[in-house]
A and B are shown apart, each in its own frame.
Chain A
Amino acid sequence: MRTAGPLVLDVALLGLGEAVLVGLGVVRSRGQALRCIGLAFIVGWCVLGTALVYVLILGASLELWQPIALAAALAAVALALGRVIPAQADLVERGERGAAQVIAVSAAAFLVGYLALLGLHSALTTSPTGWDTWAFWLPRAKAIYFFHGLHPQLHGGFASFAHPDYPPLLPAFDATVFRFAGAASVLALPFQDWLLAAAFVAAAAVLLRRRVRPAVLWPALCLLVLAPQFGASIGEGYADPQLARLVALAAVCGGVWVLERDGRLLVLTGILLVGASLTKREGLGLALMLAVALAVAARVEGGRGWSRALLLVPTVIVAVLPWQVWLHFEHVAYTPDYSLRTLLHPRYLLDRLGRLSTALEHLPRVALSFDHWLLVLPLALLLAVLAIRARSSLAVLVLGLIGTGYLGLACVYWIGTLPVTVYMRTSASRVVASLVLLAGALTPLVASELLRKGHAPSHPNHDIQDGV
C-alpha cells in the first residue's frame, strides 16, 4: 500500500488532467492523450490540488474518499464541457531529416535517460533534507493527515509551525499522498516530486512542439534539464521547485498564446497560475507579473484579444482570496517575512537601501551561477535581445519577465524583516529558480522564431478543427 497507494493517486491525477484537456478540446484522440500525458499530470495536480485547498478551508478532513470523489466530479464536469468546446488544431512543427534528426533524437534520448536516472535516484536515495521542508512544509502535511484537516486552533497542529500563512496546496497534496500510502510515508514524496518534474519536461515539449522544430526543441530542453539545480531540487521537499515549474510552464503556454491567440492556451495558463498562487506566497506575485507581461507581449505582437491576458489578474486574486479570508477569520497568528505595505513608507525604505544594493548585486550572481544553472539564463537573455527586431513580442515577454522578476525579488529582500545576508543565503538560490526556469523554458520558442526563414506565421483563431 505504501508504494502502490500513491501510484493510484497519480493515476487519478492523470485521469483528471486528461479529462480537463478533453474538456478544453486539446485532447480528442488516444494519440493526443498519450502525447499530452505530462501536461495532463500537471494540470490534474493543479486542479485537484486547488480543489483540495478549498475543501480543507471548508473543514474537510481529507479522508481517502474525498480526493477520489473530487477528482471524479471534476473530471465529469470537464468531460461534459468537452461536448460543447470544439477541438484544438493539433499543430506540429515539421519533422527532421539527416543531421538535424540525429541531433533531435540524440538529445531526446539523453534527456529521457537522464530523467529516468533522476527518477531512480529520487525513489531509492533522496531524502527531504531541506530546513524549511521539515521545519514547516512536511509538518503541515503530517498535521493535515494525522489531525484530519487544518484545525488551526489545535495546539501543535497545522498552524503551529513557521509560516502558517503560506498557501497550503503542497501540504494538502503531500497529506493526500500519505492518505493513499496509508501512513505518513515521507519517503514516498521525492518520487512524487520527480513525477512532477518529468511531467513538466513532457508538458513543455508537447506545448512547444506546435511551433518549435525537434532539432531545436530537444537540445534546448536538454540544456535546461541538465542544469545541476534542476536535478538537485527534485525531492528536497521545498515548494519552490514546483512553483518554478508551474510558472515556467504557464509562461510557455502564455508565450504560445501570444503567437496563436488560442483561448484554450490562456485557460491552461490560468490553471497553472492558480496552482502556482496556491503553492507559495511568491506565486501570486509571479502570476500577476506573467499576466501583465503576456498582455503587453500580445499587444506588441498585434492582433485582437491581447487584453484577455489581463483576465488572469482577477482569476489568480480570486483564487487565493478564500485562503486569506480563512487566515483572517480563524485568527491565525503569523509574522510575515515581509509586508508589501512597507513599500509605501519612504523612510523605512531609505533606512534599508543597503539591503537593496546587496540584493541587486547578489541575485544575478546566483541566477548566473554556472554551478547552479550553467548557461541557461545567459542563453535566454542573448536570444531575447536578438529577438527584439525579429519577434519583439517574445523579446518583451522574456526580458520583461526577467527584469520585473529580478526587481520584484530585490524589493522583497529590501523590505524583508530577516537579516539580509541570512535571508539571501537561505533562499536566493531557490527563489531565482522561477526566473531561470521560466527563461530556459521560453528559450526553444524564441530560438525557433529566430531560426525561421521569414517572419513566423501566427495562427490567430485557428482553433476549430474537429476530429484531430
Chain B
Amino acid sequence: MRHTPPVRSQDSETAALDLNVGVTERATQTERAGRKQTRAVVFAAFTVAAIATLTKVPHLLRAAEPERVSTSKRALAPATFYGLDTRLLKSAAREIPPGATYAVVSGGAGPSRFVRIAEKTLLDYWLLPRRRTNLRSSQWIVSIGGDLQSLGLRYTHVVRAGDGMELAHRLR
C-alpha cells in the first residue's frame, strides 16, 4: 500500500509528525468508508428483518386475538388439547372428596397406552389435594381400562366415568 509522501519539514520531529498525519488521514478515510459500509449493511439487515416480520404480523394478531373462554373450558384445556376424555376428571373431582387418597389401575381395555399415561398424569394434577398413593393404602380406586373385580377388593359403590373408566370407593 502506497502512502502519501510526507510533507518536508525543517526538523526530523516535525517530519515524523507529518508522516503520521498522512497515514492517520488515510487510515481515517479508510475507516470512515468501512464504517459507512457497515452502517449500510446494518440498515439493510434491519430492513430485511423488518419486512420479514411484517409478513407474519397478520398471523400474530390472529393468534393473539383475545377471546373470552369459559373458566371450565380453560381449566379443562390440558385434557381437550390432548384429546382426552374429560368425563373422568369431572367425575373423579366430584366423587372423591378433597383430602382422600386414590390409586390408579389401568389395563388393556379402553384407550391406547399413550392416552392411559396421559390420563393418569393429568389425574394427579387435576385431583390435588387428593393424593395418589398405592393400592393398599388408597381409599378410592380409579380404573382406566382396568378390571376392578380382579383386584380382590370390596367397594361401597362404583361410578362409571366414561368408556372403560370407573371410580370405586373401597369398603374398609
Contacts and interface: CB of A to CB of B under 8 A. Distances in A.
A215 to B, nearest CB: 10
B160 interface: no
A146 B52 contact: no
Contacts of B5: none
Interface stretch (A12-20, A124-132, A302-310): A124-132
Contacts of B129: 142, 146-147
A156 interface: yes
B45 to A, nearest CB: 5
Interface stretch (A115-123, A206-214, A414-422): A115-123
Nearest to B34: A389
Interface of A: 114, 117-118, 120-121, 123-129, 131, 133-135, 138-139, 142-143, 146-147, 154-157, 160-161, 184, 186-187, 219-220, 222-223, 226, 228, 231-232, 370, 374-376, 378-379, 382-383, 386, 389-390, 447, 450-451, 453-454
A386 B60 contact: no
A11 to B, nearest CB: 24
Contacts of A126: 74
Tell which of B48, B59, B125 has the most Cβ of chain A within 10 Å.
B125
Pick the most buried of A114, A184, A379, A389: most chain B CB atoms within 10 A of its CB.
A379
The interface centre, meaning the residue of A117, A124, A156 with most chain B CB atoms within 10 A of its CB, is A156
A155 B139 CA distance: 14
A220 B46 contact: yes
Contacts of B133: 155-156
Interface in B23-47: 34-35, 38-39, 41-42, 45-46
Given A117-B61, A124-B68, A125-B67, A370 B52 contact: yes
A131 B79 CA distance: 10
For chain B, what secondary structure do more than half of its interface residues adopt (helix, strand, loop), or is it mixed? helix
Contact of B46 (A117, A133, A134, A379): A379
A123 B64 CA distance: 11
Contacts, number: 132
Contacts of A124: 66-69
Contact of B42 (A121, A154, A155, A450): A450
A134 B126 CA distance: 8
Nearest to B137: A155
B78 A127 contact: yes
Nearest to A379: B49
A390 B134 CA distance: 65
B149 interface: no
Given A228-B59, A450-B39, A139 B128 contact: yes
Given A128-B78, A155-B131, A155-B133, A451 B50 contact: no
B60 A226 contact: yes
Contacts of A379: 45-46, 49
B87 to A, nearest CB: 18
Contacts of A118: 64
A375 B52 contact: yes
B21 interface: no
Nearest to A184: B128
B68 to A, nearest CB: 5
A370 B35 CA distance: 30
Contacts of B67: 121, 124-125
A238 B125 CA distance: 15
List 3 tightest A-B contacts by C-beta distance, closest first.
A156-B131, A127-B77, A146-B129
B151 interface: no
Contacts of A390: 35, 38
